[in-house]
A and B are shown apart, each in its own frame.
Chain A
Amino acid sequence: MRKSLAILSIVLVFTALLGCGQKKFAPQAIHEDVDVCAVCNMQVKDGAYATQIITKDGRSLKFDDLGCMNKWKMENGTDQIGMDYVRDYNDKSWIEYEKAAYVYDPSIRTPMAYGIVSFKDKKAAEAFMKEQGAGKLLSADELAQHSWQQSKDMMGMDDHEHMEESSGTHGQMHGDGAGEDESKEMNMNSNSGH
């Protein structure tokens, strides 16, 4: 009897350990009261712009803007990342970063002004672009080539970004003239701001 109990407990321990090995890195819920962006320290709103990294040791890092998550990856590398998530713009469900479709336009207002929103599929993204009459569809792979320019009138806030700007491929999208008019229009007829 005692022997079988011991075997049973050993089996149990092993299954438990196995379970630990196959961590799923599930996204965690956002608590607006305590969650601040791991990069910029701003409160993370439980909305469409929130993003999240679950590290391999199970820690959840939350960001208020996709741009902040990108900044974190640039500085810390991607080795520690178990899974990274963005949110669908419409229903706010968590989607894996790699699988989401992205729309960028300097006139889209996001908390840190990176101007990128995420969608669970291309169709939703295209519908959004049609509705706004602006935007550029990007996949996760294409985001790697993105300039990550924040839409603000002052160019080159610091050297770091200045470099990005000059090497970026979408630099021409931030012209002072056309972009500004567009942003006026979009701010008028959409609540895409935060």
Chain B
Amino acid sequence: MVGIRPKRLMSFYVRFGVQLLIIGLAIGICCGCGTPSAYASATGDSEGLSSLQSATLQRIIDEAEPGSVVVLPEGSYSGAIVIAKELTVQAADNVVLTNTTSSPAVMIKADGVVLQGLRITQEYADEETAAVLVQADDTALTELRIKTQGSGIMLRDANEAAIFNNEVTWYRARDTNGVSSNEARPRGNGIDLYNSRGSRIERNRIANMKDGIYLENSSQLIVEKNRIYSSRYGIHCMYIDESRIVGNIGEYNFTGAMIMGVKNAQISNNSFLKQNRNVYSQGLLLYDVQTSTIERNYVEGNRVGIYIERSSNNELMENSVYRNFIGIQMLGAENNKLHHNDFVANVIEAEATNSKDNELYHNYWDSAQGLDMDDDGISEIAYAINPFYQQMIADKPAFMLFFQSPGMAFLSAMYTANREQWTTDRSPFMHLNVALDETAALSSGDVVKERVLSKETFMLIIACMLLITASLTIIYSGVIKS
């Protein structure tokens, strides 16, 4: 009897401890689910509150005096609406507009309309159908939350718009089994401008669309502090003049910014990171870009950091190009100035073919052999960009397989034909131009904030740890006592 008791006691403790552990885990899982389920029930309630037809919403708008402020009561609305007079339409906390028709959920046809805070779900699946279509001037769209199976915000011949703090994401339709049914459907653009002058697009968040911000045939635009994730091209410019693209962040897109047919642009303080899902991914691509300034951008972890083709008379300065497969690639780019850029930890730092008369100086190339005789921080040895690999793959793309293979490196080193015509940095810097922590702050200012654990998660982890410690103590003490 005496011999059995401690054993029993021990097994009791072990069982107790295990039970405690299981309870702890269960609580943890419940807590984890807590937030979304609460959210779902909240929206569910509001849907129950009032389910109004589009006719009512349209009537509210039609009955309002021009120039007045309309505050939409909380609730769910459906159908497409047209705003054809100057109005300020504000949504209360939880106003959801769901549209299944083939017209845009909101169409703005009068100048001076302000639309604020609405949640829009555009369920009609068509690339060319927008959730919000603007065909008038002086529109303000703020704090809209758009989920769409088509495109997000579209401006056509609409000038001087202000598009601030909106969120545009792809609407994942699910069939009865909960399987996503529209994954392969063509997506529209997040914000799409055509023939629209003088608009400001600021602090919007766009994810999983075709092009995050697509700008065509427009001028004097300001695109600032937007964030674009997991789309095809983050910012796509076609034939844009005199515009500013500043402080935007792009991650996991095919290409961060596709700047094509642009002149007199200022592209600065953007950061384009981890654009590497596609074999032809770039951080920043410039094609047919003239007389523009590209400065203080941060491109990291892309297939190609900065790609420049058929572009001339641009100035690229103080850009930080880190950890890309190819840092900078130039093709038929002439008469550009590249100076005070940093090229660090790229597999191939630079490629240049048919790129004459570019002025390169005071860049930092971390793999360059520098020699500073007079201690002025500038190397006396010029850094010439070897075009061998690029010429090779231009003729036979399959040779990309030999990217940075020892043989390719050896052949590149052997190749010295027309060396005097290679793109050359005549006075490379011996040290970094842009301080690192500055670039880090620049690249991920707000992103870092997001990554910090939320209060609930933190508490959850603490609770779990306490529970595990308690269970282990009980098991351990039980065993020791036996």
Contacts and interface: CB of A to CB of B under 8 A. Distances in A.
B125 to A, nearest CB: 13
B285 A34 contact: no
A153 B216 CA distance: 10
A34 B280 contact: yes
Interface string B280-318: 100001011010000000000000000101001000000
Given A41-B285, A152-B217, A34 B279 contact: yes
B234 to A, nearest CB: 13
A113 B287 contact: no
Interface in A24-42: 33-34, 36, 40-42
Interface stretch (B201-209, B256-264, B339-347, B450-458): B256-264
Contacts of B258: 41-42
Interface in A140-160: 150-154, 157-158
Interface string A101-115: 000000000001100
Interface string B218-244: 010000000000001000001101000
Contact of B260 (A40, A158, A183, A193): A40
A157 B280 contact: no
Interface in A153-174: 153-154, 157-158
Interface residues of B, number: 27
A184 B156 CA distance: 8
A193 B130 CA distance: 13
Contacts of A193: 128
A42 B233 CA distance: 10
Nearest to B311: A158
A22 interface: no
A183 B278 CA distance: 34
A78 interface: no
Contact of A41 (B219, B263, B307): B307
B239 A157 contact: yes
A193 B189 CA distance: 12
B243 to A, nearest CB: 12
A43 interface: yes
A158 B194 CA distance: 21
A100 B285 CA distance: 33
B195 interface: yes
B160 interface: no
B380 interface: no
Given A40-B260, A187-B156, A187-B194, A157 B309 contact: no
A4 interface: no
Contacts of B288: 40, 157-158
B326 to A, nearest CB: 14
B99 to A, nearest CB: 18
B357 interface: no
Given A154-B239, A157-B290, A191 B157 contact: no
A33 B278 contact: yes
Contacts of A151: 217
B156 to A, nearest CB: 6
Contacts of B217: 113, 151-153
A34 B195 contact: no
29 contacts: A34-B280, A36-B280, A40-B260, A40-B288, A41-B309, A42-B260, A43-B232, A43-B254, A43-B280, A112-B238, A113-B238, A150-B261, A151-B217, A152-B217, A152-B238, A152-B239, A152-B261, A153-B219, A154-B239, A154-B241, A154-B263, A157-B239, A157-B261, A157-B288, A158-B312, A184-B157, A187-B156, A188-B156, A193-B128
Interface of B: 128, 156-157, 194-195, 216-217, 219, 232, 238-239, 241, 254, 258, 260-261, 263, 278-280, 285, 287-288, 290, 307, 309, 312
Interface of A: 33-34, 36, 40-43, 112-113, 150-154, 157-158, 180, 183-184, 187-188, 191, 193
Q: Which 5 A-B pairs have the closest CB atoms?
A: A152-B239, A36-B280, A191-B128, A152-B217, A154-B241
Given A152-B261, A154-B219, A184-B156, 7 more contacts: A36-B280, A112-B238, A113-B216, A113-B217, A113-B239, A154-B263, A187-B156
